[in-house]
Amino acid sequence: MRLEDELRELRARFDAALERAADPKHLDEVRVSFLGRSGEVTTVRRGIGKLPGDERPSAGKTINDVVASMEAALGEREGALQRARFETSLSESIDVTFPAPPSPLGSLHPIRIVTNDLCGYFERHGFAVVLGPEIEPDYYNFDALNIPADHPAREGFDSFYLTEHLLLRPHTSPMQIRTMEDYPPPVAVVVPGKCYRRDAVDARHSYMFHQIEGLLVAKDVHFGHLKGTLTGMCRKLFGPDQAVRFRPSYFPFTEPSAEVDTTCPRCRGAGGPCRMCSGSGWIELGGSGMVHPNVLQQMEYDPDIYSGWAFGFGIERLALVRYDIDDIRRLFENQPEFLAQFS
């Protein structure tokens, strides 16, 4: 038989043996019987000696090539068997069909829930939800809101100043100015967001808190619209029987100004020993009023044509009342057990 035919036949038997070898021991037997010292390839190699001298080098090379490819095939088969063994061992020790334990999901923070509900209510009434910067120049925080540098009302805002004229906003009212600066009337926006004041932390106060600002400026807007809008808001948050009342107040950027109260949802206005409203039957939401003509004028809104109202409420306060939480600090500690109660 010619050398090539001999090798082809040998290779076919080798491949078949490889295919049958199902474990390392069999694989080794195949290796020894074909490639070992007294294996079949060695026998073929010995035959080279009988060839004419000039054919020997090329015959040697042919055999070497076949040996190299057989060794590669052996390695491959070994790898495949190893992988198969690994997978079998996995599926013996791990049940891959077993359902994974559920990963715990987070829940919405009460501040977020109340903010979403408020924004949803106002969006349905045609207001745009806008956000503003937490670092503002004093111009937006005070000057443009009719609070000049020497005005005592600045004191009440107990602000954190970053530089001489830059501060962490103590209220969301600067966005009234930015809105009127950027858009001609009519405008209707609400602005939820963080505010900062130099307040000592206790059950009711925190140096960081959230407000929601509302601003509506258009023709023929009056206080009655404000009361109707806020009554709807309180009913959405606290239930269908909520009432809203105004108490006279003072803010430099509104005239007239009012504090807004709503029925205490805990005692339903009965007062008495109620600890949530301290017996008054009412809960204070924050400030409001008709936008001061000076502010409108500065924003180049003609106060003879346009009028508007604004309000600014603390969102923590709304959340504490809604969920009957007794201490504002609970809202910032973020204990998972506490947060998991809300969804």
- Binding footprint of ligand PHE on the chain (CB under 6 A): 171, 173, 251, 254, 286-289, 310-312
d(CA 41, CA 338): 77
Centroid of chain to Cα 99: 27
Whichever of 267 and 318 has its CB closer to ligand PHE, that residue is 318
Whichever of 140 and 311 has its CB closer to ligand PHE, that residue is 311
* Cβ 189 to ligand PHE shortest distance, Å: 12
Whichever of 34 and 311 has its CB closer to ligand PHE, that residue is 311
Q: Which bin fits 278, alpha (ψ -120 to 50), beta or left (φ > 0)?
A: left
* Cβ 291 to ligand PHE shortest distance, Å: 8
* Cβ 305 to ligand PHE shortest distance, Å: 21
Counts for the chain of helices (H) and strands (E), in that order? 13, 9
* Cβ 131 to ligand PHE shortest distance, Å: 16
Whichever of 115 and 288 has its CB closer to ligand PHE, that residue is 288
Could you tell me the CA-to-CA distances from 203 to 169, 173, 259, 327 in Å, in that order? 22, 25, 21, 4
Are 276 and 264 contacting, i.e. CB atoms less than 8 angstroms apart? yes
Whichever of 78 and 134 has its CB closer to ligand PHE, that residue is 134
Whichever of 246 and 338 has its CB closer to ligand PHE, that residue is 246
* Cβ 336 to ligand PHE shortest distance, Å: 32
List of residues 6+ apart from 294 with CB closer than 8 A: 146
Which residues are bridge partners to 308 per DSSP?
Answer: 217
Burial (CB count within 10 angstroms: exposed 0-12, middle 13-18, buried 19+), residue 211: buried
Are 166 and 136 contacting, i.e. CB atoms less than 8 angstroms apart? yes
DSSP secondary structure string for all residues of 332-343? HH--HHHHTT--
Which residues are bridge partners to 219 per DSSP?
Answer: 306
List of residues 6+ apart from 213 with CB closer than 8 A: 171, 172, 173, 175, 176, 189, 190, 191, 192, 310, 311, 312
Whichever of 146 and 254 has its CB closer to ligand PHE, that residue is 254
Whichever of 185 and 286 has its CB closer to ligand PHE, that residue is 286
* Cβ 102 to ligand PHE shortest distance, Å: 43
* Cβ 269 to ligand PHE shortest distance, Å: 24
* Cβ 239 to ligand PHE shortest distance, Å: 25
